Amino acid sequence: MSTHTSSHAFLSVLAVHGVDRIFEVPGESYIGLLDAIADFPQIDLVTCRHEAGAGFMACADGRLTRRPGVFMVSRGPGASNASIAVHTAQQDAIPLILVVGQVPKKDLRREAFQEIDYRAMFGTLAKWVFEVTAPEQMAEVAYKAVRMATTGTPGPVVISVPEDLQQQPVPRVHWRAQPHDPLRASPAGLARVRELLHTAQRPLIIAGGAFDVPGGREALLAFAQAWQLPVCVAFRRHDLFPNQHPLFVGDLGLANPPHQMALLHDSDLILALGTRLDDITSQNFTFPHHPQPAQPLVHCYPDPRVVGLHFATEVGLPCQPKGLVEELTPDVDAIYPDSRAEWARQLRGMHDQIAAWPQRDADDGVRFFEVVRHLRALAPSDLRVCLDAGTFAAPVYRHFGFEPTQRLMAPLSGAMGYGTPAAVATALREPQHRVVCMVGDGGFMMTGNEMILAVERRLPIVFILANNGSYASIRIHQARTYPTRHPGTDLYNPDFATMARGFGMAVDVIEHEDAIEATLRRALQSQGPHFIEVKASLGVTLPP
Ligand SMILES: Cc1ncc(C[n+]2csc(CCOP(=O)(O)OP(=O)(O)O)c2C)c(N)n1
């Protein structure tokens, strides 16, 4: 190994905490750090083409590993491109570390070439922003970055490292990873929840992302079954509970019909477990009633700042939901009102109606829900579904019906451009599972270059592009609010199939619905990446 530099110290601490992959777009502002990475053969350095894609990959990686996803970018322009991933990590509660090369220390705050003050820029986006001012700080900063990114509500941390501080010799310091005891509920809190569980006639669980930990899903399932508790999953958290289970009663998302919400409001106990009760999950802060719910609210999240923040709670539990439900799952038969079974049947019946596959016709192209329907039928039980933002994804959320070992990777931030990089990062992290990426013709061209990584590393990802010639989600909004015209949402597209062939991928184009099944079958068997362009219907009835 070359001299032990400040960059070696920084990387050693990250490696001790399990960081084994770093995504990067290089810049002259951090070649010192880059050079040191060559001395860490255990770190897979993934060279990317755009900082947004690198950042989305790090987001997906952080989500899958629950360790910080790490990406490195250059100052000014690089950091600006990277900001979308910092926002997504914040909204999605993903541990993320962004390392930015900075101008030399002597030039700081002189508006030097490509300089940005990152504390100001990322001040409200990131959980913590730190600018290194001495090489000896680097190890400590890496340690704190991991702690900040992974504790409480996971989130993004930004570390700015002036270029002249990256290759200074520093003494070796041995840092150890520090496991922390999980946060547990108080005995009094547990006792109060037990009382409520014994008496509630119409209880409802809202299950959120903090269950996405090893054993979390199993613990939730055992708890729900033991007490006969219907489960609604939080925004885009469909894979937390088996969707075929009679106690699965749907998701709280962008399109819950009023009659379903009226029924959910009728519950007499809400157990919001592992969810932040965010804007979308809470139906724009209307479910439960804001700020004082109509029924007792039990709110559990492993961050005291989140518990009871938006809604007044009957019981607030700043602890891990997995541990909580394990403690509340009785060894013997639980005692609760008989009426609960009927309540669960009612909610499930409503969900079944909402989740039934649509019957709509279309004469302007392939109905994308038909692609999703066939994929559902053919999907292996360990499928990873990576979604971009767009209306093409609506049938996945509403109708797909995730099995217990299938996983959904979708941005809670609603960021377009997430799908393709997330699929590549998922396939890198979980090569044993089949990955399907679905993306619209708008979102695909916001990133998309990451496909070359899939080709380079022969990742067996099926990319499905819904080409409807439009930013259709926005066009739908226009049709509702400004029905007579729709400026700014039509798309003039390149020949996507030729593009994908140019990347070196196997390519299919679906122009008719009768080709869907055979094409998907073939793609799901592919050894490497496979690209399918679907000539899709706009999918909505629009005024002329
Ligand atoms: C980065 C970013 N820019 C803009 C938006 C606003 N937006 C949400 S959906 C959408 C259109 C998506 O179009 P496309 O990817 O073609 O999918 P479609 O809705 O047509 O299925 C836009 C522009 C966004 N969510 N993210």
- Which atom of ligand 1 is least distant from the CA of 393? 21
In this structure, the number of other CB atoms found within 10 A of the CB of residue 441 comes to 23
- Name residues whose C-beta falls within 8 Å of residue 489's C-beta, 6 or more positions apart in sequence: 470, 471, 472, 474, 475, 478
The reported pLDDT for the residue numbered 356 is 97
Q: Whose C-alpha lies nearest to ligand 1, atom 11?
A: 471
Q: How far is the CA of 75 from the centre of ligand 1 (A)?
A: 28
> What does the pLDDT look like over 314-350, one tens digit per residue?
999 999 999 999 999 988 889 999 999 999 999 999 9
The reported pLDDT for the residue numbered 405 is 97
φ, ψ of residue 288 to 5 degrees: the values are -70, -175
Name all residues whose Cβ lies below 6 A of ligand 1. Answer: 389-392, 414-417, 440-443, 446, 466, 468, 470-474
Q: How far is the CA of 493 from the centre of ligand 1 (A)?
A: 15
Pocket test for ligand 1, best of 91, 387, 416, 537 (most atoms within 8 A of CB): 416
- Which atom of ligand 1 is least distant from the CA of 368? 21
Cβ atoms of 89 and 95 closer than 8 Å? yes
> What does the pLDDT look like over 8-21, one tens digit per residue?
999 999 999 999 99
Q: Taking 80 as the threshold, does the pLDDT of residue 102 lie above it?
A: yes
- Which atom of ligand 1 is least distant from the CA of 476? 19
Pocket test for ligand 1, best of 83, 446, 471, 474 (most atoms within 8 A of CB): 471
Q: Report the alpha-carbon distance of residue 343 to residue 340 in Å, rounded.
A: 5
What residue has token string 């499930």? Answer: 348
In which band, very low, low, confident or very high, does the pLDDT at 180 lie, cut at 50, 70 and 90? confident
Q: Taking 70 as the threshold, does the pLDDT of residue 170 lie above it?
A: yes
Q: Taking 80 as the threshold, does the pLDDT of residue 541 lie above it?
A: no
Range 429-432, long-range pairs (CB < 8 A, 24+ positions):
429/21, 429/60, 429/61, 429/64, 429/65, 430/64, 430/384, 431/459, 432/382
In which band, very low, low, confident or very high, does the pLDDT at 6 lie, cut at 50, 70 and 90? very high
The reported pLDDT for the residue numbered 539 is 73
Cα distances (angstroms) measured from residue 88 to each of 130, 383, 414, 497? 19, 23, 8, 29
Q: Which two tokens stand for residue 374?
A: 């066939």
Q: How far is the CA of 342 from the centre of ligand 1 (A)?
A: 40
Q: Report the alpha-carbon distance of residue 256 to residue 252 in Å, rounded.
A: 7
Q: How far is the CA of 408 from the centre of ligand 1 (A)?
A: 19
Cβ atoms of 93 and 153 closer than 8 Å? yes
User: What average pLDDT does the structure give for the chain?
Assistant: 97
Q: Whose C-alpha lies nearest to ligand 1, atom 1?
A: 416
> What does the pLDDT look like over 447-463, one tens digit per residue?
999 999 999 999 999 99
In this structure, the number of other CB atoms found within 10 A of the CB of residue 536 comes to 27
Q: Whose C-alpha lies nearest to ligand 1, atom 16?
A: 442
Strand partners, 157: 97, 128
Q: Report the alpha-carbon distance of residue 153 to residue 497 in Å, rounded.
A: 41
- Which atom of ligand 1 is least distant from the CA of 538? 20
Question: Which comes out higher in pLDDT, residue 260 or 175?
Answer: 260
Q: Quote the percentage of the chain above a pLDDT of 90.
A: 96
In which band, very low, low, confident or very high, does the pLDDT at 543 lie, cut at 50, 70 and 90? very low
Cα distances (angstroms) measured from residue 292 to each of 250, 274, 286, 409? 24, 20, 10, 33
Q: Quote the percentage of the chain above a pLDDT of 70.
A: 99
For 398-410, b/e burial (b = at least 16 CB within 10 A) is bbbebbeebbbbb
Q: DSSP per residue over 268-323, as a string? A: SEEEEES----TTTTTTTTSS-SSS-SS-EEEE-S-TTTTTSSS--SEEE-S-HHH
Q: Report the alpha-carbon distance of residue 504 to residue 455 in Å, rounded.
A: 7
Q: Quote the pTM value.
A: 0.98
> What does the pLDDT look like over 379-436, one tens digit per residue?
999 999 999 999 999 999 999 999 999 999 999 999 999 999 999 999 999 999 999 9
Over range 371-378, report the average pLDDT: 98
Q: How far is the CA of 389 from the centre of ligand 1 (A)?
A: 6
Q: Sheet of 530-535: strands edge to edge?
A: 407-409, 384-387, 435-440, 461-467, 530-535, 506-510
Q: Report the alpha-carbon distance of residue 354 to residue 256 in Å, rounded.
A: 9
Angle at 492 between CA 486 and CA 497, to 5 degrees: 140
The reported pLDDT for the residue numbered 540 is 63
Q: How far is the CA of 95 from the centre of ligand 1 (A)?
A: 25
Angle between helices 419-429 and 51-65 (to 10 degrees): 50
The reported pLDDT for the residue numbered 202 is 98
